Each structure stands twice: as structure tokens, then as C-alpha cells.
Amino acid sequence: MGTRATGSAGSSGSRVRAAIAAVGDWAAAGLKQVGDRVRFVGGVSQLFNETSKWCFRGMFLPGHKVGWRSLVAQTVRVGVLAIPIVVIVQVFIGVILALQLAPTLERYGQMERIADVVGIAIFRELGPLITAIVLSGFAGASIAAELGAMVESEEIKALRAHALNPIRFLVIPRFLATVLMLTGLTVIADIVGVLGGFGTGVLVLGVSPSAYLSATREALVMKDFLTGLFKAGVFGVLISMIACYEGLTVTGGAVGVGRATTATVVKSIVALIATDAVFTAVFYVWEL
């Protein structure tokens, strides 16, 4: 009996110890995750700070010029090559919005109001957001992979060894190209998204073209367009900074490059949607 009681107490003691150890491990893993997130946010912020400084120097100080050839190359890669996919995606978004809204609006006899909703939704939200999400996969992943490969092939080290700053030579062109082209692509996305809704409304739902266009003109005001463009610019900053940070901090060879590419897309999408939510809330409160 005594032996059994001791054995039982011992085994329950070891179970408690195991439980405490498990909680400890879980807490340690949680803290490490939090630490990693803080390090990531801090690293991206520091990169943005350095990038802003180099942009300023490039604009105002002699001898710090931005490499225009590199900027043009990045602009083509980030923006021009993305035009077809942005157009296709945004036309579909316009079609989907129109078709999803049609039954409800038809019930209220307000079918031509499709133009209002499609226009506002695309100009304020879906134009910049969907374009940014497309670009995070199209350009963000490729920037991270390219910079990661450059880290692995010692190109970044070679730049520093030649007293050349990698932020100036590699980050600035990608940053400017992403911000400029995301803003430009958003304009295209806004137009083709509305055209997608227009085509669906006119060809499928029987709304007259003139009614659709006049409803769109009445519904949209300049601030819808400008708030969308402002968001696009900020989204461009987020995508380029996350992609450059992930690329420049690659370790572990080809596996590390793959990890950076995936992390760029995932973190960019989370950051984009979270930032969009904040903007929407702020614009709602300020009635913008």
C-alpha cells in the first residue's frame, strides 16, 4: 500500500512537473514568436528610415544620384509587366461585384445603383487593395528572391566591400518603382474594374449604358479616387520594404531564399489588409 501510495504521489508529481515544463516551453515559444515579430517590425522600420534618408540625399545632395537605369528596369519589371494580370483580375472583380449585388438591388428596384456600389467599392477599396495583393505576389516575391540570391552570391557583401551602400543601389530603385507603379496600376485597376461592372450591368443585367455611366459619375467624387491612390502609395511602401527586408536578411542558401519569398507574400498580405482596415476606419471617422 505504502509503496503504491508513494508511486502514485511520485507519478502525479512528475505529471505536474511535465505540465509545468510544457507550459514553460509554450510560453518560451510564444515569447520567441513575439520577439521575432518585434524584430521584424523594427527591421522593416529601420530599413524604411534608411531608405527615406537615401531618397532625400538622392534628390537634394550631389554625388548621391539614384540609378535611373536601374529605376527604369525595376519600373518595367514591377509595373509594366504586371499590367495584364492587374487588368484581368480587376475586370473579374467588377464582374463579380455586379453579379453579387444584382439580386438584392433588383429586389428593391434599384438595379442602376449597381454603378454606385461598384464604382465606390473599386475606387476606395478594391482597386488599390487587390492591385497591391497581386503585386505582393508578382513583384514582392520576386524582389525578395532576387535580393536573397544576391546575398547568397555575395553581391551585397561585394557592394559594401566597394564602399557602396546596398540601400542606395538596390533598395531605392525597387522602393520607388513599387510605390510609383502601384499608384499607376491602381488608376488602371479603377478604370478596368468599373468597366467590368459596366459590361456586366449593360450586357447581362440590362442596365442602360447611359444610366450606368451617369450613376457612376454622380456616385464618385474626387476624394474616392484620391483616398484610393493614397492607400496605393502606402501599400507600395509596405510591399517594397517587406520584400527588401526579407531579401536582404536571407540566410541558409536556396532554402532561405524560398522561405523569404513565401514570408514576403504572407506578411505583405497581412500588412496590406490590416493597414487597409485602419485606413478605412480613419476615413470613416474623418468622413473622408
Partner 1 sequence: MTGIVSNAQVVISVVDLAKSFEDAEGNPVYVLDGVTFDVLRGETLVIMGGSGCGKSTLLNCLIGEYDINAGKIAYRTKGMDAAVNIAGMNERKLNGIRKRIGILFQSGALFNSLTVSENVALPLQEHSYVDRSIIDIVVTLKLQQVKMLGHRDKFPGQLSGGQKKRVGLARATALDPEILFYDEPSAGLDPVTSTAIDELMMDLSKKLQVTSVVVTHEMDSAFRIADRMIMLEHGRVLKLGRREEFEALRDAKPQELNTDTERLIHQFLTGANQGPLTDTDGMSEFEKLIVSG
Question: Interface residues with partner 1 (CB under 8 A)?
Answer: 70, 73, 150, 153-155, 157-165
Nearer to partner 1, 78 or 89 (CB): 78
Nearest CA to 207 out of 117, 86, 77 is that of 117
Closest distance to partner 1 from the beta carbon of 108 (Å):
57
Closest distance to partner 1 from the beta carbon of 9 (Å):
33
Nearer to partner 1, 257 or 265 (CB): 257
Nearer to partner 1, 33 or 214 (CB): 33
Closest distance to partner 1 from the beta carbon of 159 (Å):
8
Beta strand residue intervals within the chain, DSSP E: none
All cell numbers assigned to 112: 442602376
CB 119 within 8 A of CB 227: no
End-to-end CA distance of the chain: 78
Nearer to partner 1, 1 or 163 (CB): 163
Closest distance to partner 1 from the beta carbon of 164 (Å):
6
Nearest CA to 224 out of 131, 287, 181, 281 is that of 287
Closest distance to partner 1 from the beta carbon of 29 (Å):
13
**What type of residue sits at position 247?**
G
**What type of residue sits at position 61?**
L
Q: Whole-angstrom Cα distance, residue 288 to residue 276?
A: 14
Nearer to partner 1, 22 or 158 (CB): 158
